[in-house]
Amino acid sequence: MSVCLWVCLFSFWVNDPPFGLIIHGGAGTIERHKMSADLDAEYRRALKTALAAGYEILQKGGSCEAAAIATIKSMEDSPLFNAGRGAVFTNNGKNEFDASIMLGTGEAGACAGVRNIKNPILLAQAVMNSTPHVMLAGDGAVAYARELGLEFETDSYFFTEKRWKQLKKAKVKEKEQSHDNKWRKFGTVGVVALDKQGHMAAATSTGGLTNKQFGRIGDSPIIGAGTYCDNETCGVSGTGQGEFFMRSVVAYDVAALIKYKGMRLQEAVDEAIRKLSDKKGSGGLIAMNTKAEIAFSMNTKGMYRGYRISDGRHVVQIYGDEH
């Protein structure tokens, strides 16, 4: 009798569908010796908080979409990351946001170049769920957000001293640097979540690049470039120099390498980053599949990242040499 009970419990445990999530908080010149112990700890805490926000939803049987949104929202509300509250400044001293979400079943939504919306990811989600479109931009997107009753904030909410200083510095350096190497610090946030039902969602949100021409739109809201999700292959979110991710359709490339070349997840992610390096672009990627395999890769010094999976894997990392 008790043997039977153990066998039943064991088979239940074995067959329990895996779930979990992987996140990034941006890649770039993030170096151990330049980071204070306090700031290092603050980032790790914020990454853990974001992971917990999504994980709790997945654990209760919630959807990958709900988990992805809660995770991104947590990072958009933190002043540490370049998304929502901590967004970088454009060349005219404003904040403009791009965000997107895609489900493994193919639905997608995005918003681009929007201002003053507290959580741009909620607008991307609404575009996916409540309109026949995939992307809304500019004034029309903002008007739609108002119609939905989404929360707005004044410019001062998005003002952080750190980002303002970065803008000033970027303006000084602007003239010294080449066209494509102007931007070295990224901080976009992204997630791929897998729920107990075996579905995935990938989402990305950003303030873009410091000192970007106002009106510039990056890869993060572009399905296939900064975000991609397909239950058959993988979910992907990227961070880095968006122009390179757009030209090489990097997020979709990871899925295509799996689908058409039969690569494993980590191999595909590494190959996409290798191709990015070949083109002299820089950045990082996170990816996950429905077997709860996770992968990340970057050609930058670091990438804020973490994952929490139902089999007990629970990790947050910052620097390139952490494994």
Q: What is the contact surface with ligand ASP in residues (CB under 6 A)?
A: 26, 82, 186-188, 206, 208-209, 218-220, 226, 239-242
Alpha helices in the chain (DSSP H): 2-15, 37-59, 64-76, 120-130, 138-148, 161-174, 242-247, 250-261, 265-278
Which residues, at least 6 apart from 128, have a Cβ–Cβ distance to it below 8 Å? 101, 102, 103, 107, 108, 109, 134
Closer to ligand ASP at the Cβ: 195 or 253? Answer: 253
- Pick the closest to residue 210 from 117, 93, 111, 99 (CA basis): 93
- Nearest alpha carbon to residue 114 among 126, 103, 93, 99: 99
Radius of gyration for the chain, computed over Cα atoms and rounded to the nearest angstrom: 19
Angle, in degrees to the nearest 10, between helices 64-76 and 37-59: 160
Question: Contact 201/96 with Cβ under 8 angstroms?
Answer: no
Counted residue by residue, the chain has a size of 323
Nearer to ligand ASP, 224 or 226 (CB): 226
Q: How far is the CB of 238 from ligand ASP (least distance, A)?
A: 7
Nearer to ligand ASP, 58 or 222 (CB): 222
Cα(120)–Cα(83) distance, integer angstroms: 8
> Which residue, 66 or 246, has its beta carbon nearer to ligand ASP?
246
- In whole angstroms, the minimum distance from the beta carbon of 277 to ligand ASP comes to 16
Q: How far is 24 from 315, CA to CA, in rounded Å?
A: 12
In whole angstroms, how close is the CB of 220 to ligand ASP at the nearest point? Answer: 5
Asked about 188 being catalytic, the answer comes back as: yes
Beta bridge partners of 117: 152
**Where are the alpha helices (H) located in 181-249, listed in sequence order?**
242-247
Q: Least Å distance between CB 199 and ligand ASP?
A: 25
| Min CB(51)–ligand ASP separation in Å | 19
- Comparison of 20 and 218: residue with beta carbon closer to ligand ASP: 218
Give just the sign of the alpha carbon dihedral 243, 278, 289, 252: positive
Q: Select which of 71, 90, 188, 300 is catalytic.
A: 188
- Catalytic annotation, residues: 188
